[in-house]
């Protein structure tokens, strides 16, 4: 049974990213068309889940309660447009912690699949970084690159075979909703 599930990376896809990390609610600046896209997908029956690396926690740049305020704000903004956001999974670890949830490892995608009781094959995972695309490829998700955030930099590198490229999340939603 095909579930209308799409999984999103957060920084650079839903909100602006920064090389200095997104360290506070004030620094969490939504991409307006992305909020609208999530609401439109949700209202059309899609489940929208999120898989996000948050090594800033391990690095001590911000704490879990700050991270949660960003996700409360995300849910509020989407709800204002009549939609909702599904499961948000984050990796709190640093690059040297050897966890299995930090992208490019696929642990967060597997967690989301388990939560919804679905097979990941062919499920679209939308990201802006190589690690997102590699995580998708590792579990047969459809790798989808957007040009927002670090997307233009990622596009300059080799992409996993079959990666689909869109300008932004709004364009991804338009494709899925056509
Ligand atoms: O794009 P998602 O997965 O939602 O989140 C990315 C963030 O956790 C941060 O990931 C860091 O990578 P390192 O974790 O330092 O390798 C840097 O790329 C930051 O610019 C970025 O804000
Ligand atoms: Mg990102
Ligand atoms: Zn982790």
Q: 43 CA to middle of ligand 3, Å? A: 31
Cα four-point dihedral sign 110, 113, 114, 118: negative
Q: Which ligand is nearest to the CA of 146?
A: 2
Q: Say which CATH number the domain at 35 has.
A: 3.40.50.1000
Per the annotation, the verdict on 11 as an active-site residue is yes
Work out the angle between the directed axes of helices 32-43 and 169-177 (0-180°, nearest 10).
20
**Which ipTM value was assigned to this complex?**
0.98
Domain count of the fold of the chain: 1
> Residue with structure tokens 């338009």?
174
110-169 pLDDT, tens digit each: 999 999 999 999 999 999 999 999 999 999 999 999 999 999 999 999 999 999 999 999
Domain around 28 = 5-176
Look at the pTM and tell me if it is higher than 0.95: yes
Q: Would you say the CB of residue 36 lies under 6 angstroms from ligand 1?
A: no
């Amino acid at each position: 049974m095909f579930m209308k599930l799409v999984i999103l990376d957060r920084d650079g896809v839903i909100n602006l990213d920064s090389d200095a990390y997104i360290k506070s609610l004030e620094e969490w600046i939504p991409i307006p068309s992305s909020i609208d896209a999530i609401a439109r997908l949700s209202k059309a029956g899609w489940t929208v889940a999120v898989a996000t690396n948050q090594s800033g926690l391990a690095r001590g740049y911000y704490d879990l309660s700050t991270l949660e305020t960003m996700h409360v704000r995300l849910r509020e903004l989407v709800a204002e447009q009549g939609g909702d956001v599904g499961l948000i999974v984050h990796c709190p670890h640093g690059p040297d912690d050897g966890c299995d949830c930090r992208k490019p490892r696929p642990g967060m995608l597997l967690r989301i699949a388990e939560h919804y009781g679905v097979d990941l094959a062919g499920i679209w995972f939308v990201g802006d970084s190589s690690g997102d695309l590699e995580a998708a490829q590792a579990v047969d998700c459809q790798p989808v690159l957007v040009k927002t955030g670090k997307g233009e930099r990622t596009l300059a590198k080799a992409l996993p075979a079959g990666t689909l490229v869109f300008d932004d999340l709004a364009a991804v939603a338009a494709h899925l909703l056509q």
